[in-house]
Structure 1
C-alpha cells in the first residue's frame, strides 16, 4: 500500500480547509449549497472563475489559489458542496467518473488485491482490467453474500469495492458489514454511490472510506456535463489524491463545475419525482405479461430489502427488466416514441439502455450472464416526465 505522507509537497499539494457537515436538511442544502451568497458581491449564484492562474501579493504569500489545475474557486465550491452532501470533509472534482476511479486505484501497489462487486458498471470492470497490468488484482465477488466476501479476504486484500445497489440488477451489499470486514484486515472500503446519490444514501455513515460518483448522472442531472468525484473524510487521503490530481490533470473545468452546482440545486426535487415515477412504472411492469422479471429495490427478497432499508432513504429511479428474447428487445427499442434509447442515467429525461451491447459490453459474456446481465435485459433510468405518458410508451412498445 502506498505511503501517502511522502506526497505532501509544498503549497500545490496542501489540502484546503475541510468542509463542514451541514446542519440543515439535504433538501435545503442542495438549494443553497456550501456558500449560499458570494461574500464580495452578494451573488446568489457561484461565479465562474475562468482564470487559469492567480497572482500572489508577494513572495511566500498566496490567496489560496495558485494555478487552475491545483485549485479553482468555482470547482472548490462544488467540491465542498459534494463533500458536505456525503457527510465528508473532502472531495475532488474530476473530468469524468473514470478519471476519479483511476486516481483512487493509484492508492494501491503491485501485489495488492481488491474484492470487487461482480455485478458492476462495465467501465469499472474495464479499468480494473487495465490496472491488472500493474499488478493490482480484482477479485470479482458477489458482495451481497457476506460469506463469499469473507472467503475471498486474505493478507493481500487491501480494499473492497462495492456498488450498492448494483448496476444493473440491483443487488444490495451491506456497507457496514463490508466496512467491518475490510477494516479488520487493515484495508479500506470504496463505495460507488452513483445509482442513489447522496440524497438517498450516504455510505460514509456506515463505514465507507472513499465514495466515488459519476457526477455526470444524478448530481448534474441534465445529460450535459461529464464529471466525477472522489469523496472521503481523512486528510491523509486528501494529501495523496490531491497530489495525484494536480500531477495528472483530469480536473473538472470551471464552467462544468458551475453546471453541476446548478444541477445539484434541484437534486432533491428531481429524485423525489423520478422515484415516484419509477414506483409507478415498476408496478406496471410487474403486471405486464410481456415482462419476465423486474429488478427494483422495493422487490428485493426480505433479507436484502432489510439491509437496503437500513442504509438507504428511498428506492431510487433505476429499474431493470427482462423480456422474452433478444428479438423482443430489438422490437421494443424500435417502437419507443417518447422514451429515449441512450447510454446514460440520472437525468431529467427517461432513458432506456441495453447493457449487453452498451454499458456492459466489455464484460465477458459468461460473467455478464452469471450476474443476470443477459441479452434480454433492459435498464430504465426514469426521469421526471409525466408517469402516465411514460407507461403508455412502454406499454405500446411491449
Structure 2
C-alpha cells in the first residue's frame, strides 16, 4: 500500500464509506484543519487512506474531495489536476449513483472542495512547464461547471470561481511564455478523463460469456381466440384484483417516498456533523461505537453554536435573498453579534491590573534606590484603582467559582449569577469563533 497510486487501482463508483475504519481515520485527519491547536496533518497518510477506500469501497464525493486536497498538498498542480479530472469523471458518468445521494450534501461537499482547493492553488507558482497541467485542469473544471449547470440544483456550487482563476492563470502563463492558444487545444485532445464504470472491472480478465451477444429470441406467433367472451370468470376477477393492487401501489409509493426519503437525507446530513453524530448515537446507543462517540465529542469546538449560527445565516441568505423575514432575522443576528463585539467585558482587567502592579513595583524599586518612600495615601489610591478595574470585568473563572461555592453550600445559584455566566460564555465563544474564522480567511 505504501507505493500504491491512483493509476494502480481499478476505479468504480462506491457507496457510503462512513462504516469503514479508513474513512473514520481520514475524517480525524481532516478535523485537524479546523482544530484550534492546529496539529500537524499527515497528508501522506490521508492520501493512502483515500486510496484504500477507493480500492475497497469505490469512489464517493466526500473521499474524492479529501483525496484531491491531500494530493494537491503533496504534488501541487499535478495532484490538483488529477483530482479535478477524477471529479469530472464522477459527474459525467456516475452523478446519479455516487454517494451521497442528498443534493444539499453534494452541494456542501463541492463548495468545500472549491473553497479549500482555491486557497492551495492560489499559493502555487506557475511557469511555462505548468501550462499543460493548467489546460487539463481548466478542461476538467469546465466539464464540471457545464454538467452542474445542466442539473436542476437548488443552488449551484461555487466551482466556477476556481475555473475562472485557472483560466486567468492559463492566459497569464501563455503571455509570459509566448505560447498560443493551440497548446490548450492539443492538450485537451491528448488528455483523457478517468472513466468510472458502475461495476468493478477485473484487470487482465479473459473474455466471458457476458461479452457474447445473446441470440435473438423467437416468439411464437399470436393466435387470436375464436371468441374473446369465453374468458373465464376467475380470470376477470384476477385482473380486477391486480388493477386494484396497482392503483393502491401508485397511491402508497409517492406517500412513502415523500415521507421516508427526506428523513433519510436529513439523517445522512446529521451524521456528517460531529454534534449530529453524537445526538444520533444517544437515540441508538451501541457498545461498538461507544469509543467513537466520545472521540467525536472531543472534536466539537466550544464555538460550535456561533459557527452554526453563521452558517445558518449564510444558507438563509442564499435561499431567500429577497424575503423580508430572512432579512429581519439575519439583521437581528448581526446586531446581536455586534453588541457582543462591543461588550465592555473583554477580559482586559487582567492586563490593566498587571500593568499597574508592574508600575507600582517599578516605582517602589526606584524610591528604594533613591532612599525615599511612598505615602500611604498614594498606595491606597493605587490599590483602589486596581480593585476598580477588577470589579468592572469579573473573569468567567471567578463567576464559576462563586457558582461552585453556592453548590457546595447546598444553596441555589442566584439567577443573576447564572445570567452573567451565560452572557460571558457567549461573548467568549463568539469572540473565539471570530478570531478562528479571521485566521482561516487570512490563510
Q: TM-score interval w.r.t. the shorter chain?
A: under 0.3
Higher relative contact order (Cα pairs below 8 Å, separated by 6+ residues)? 1
What TM-score does the superposition give when structure 2 sets the normalisation length? 0.23
**More helix, by proportion:** 2
**More strand, by proportion:** 1
What TM-score does the superposition give when structure 1 sets the normalisation length? 0.25
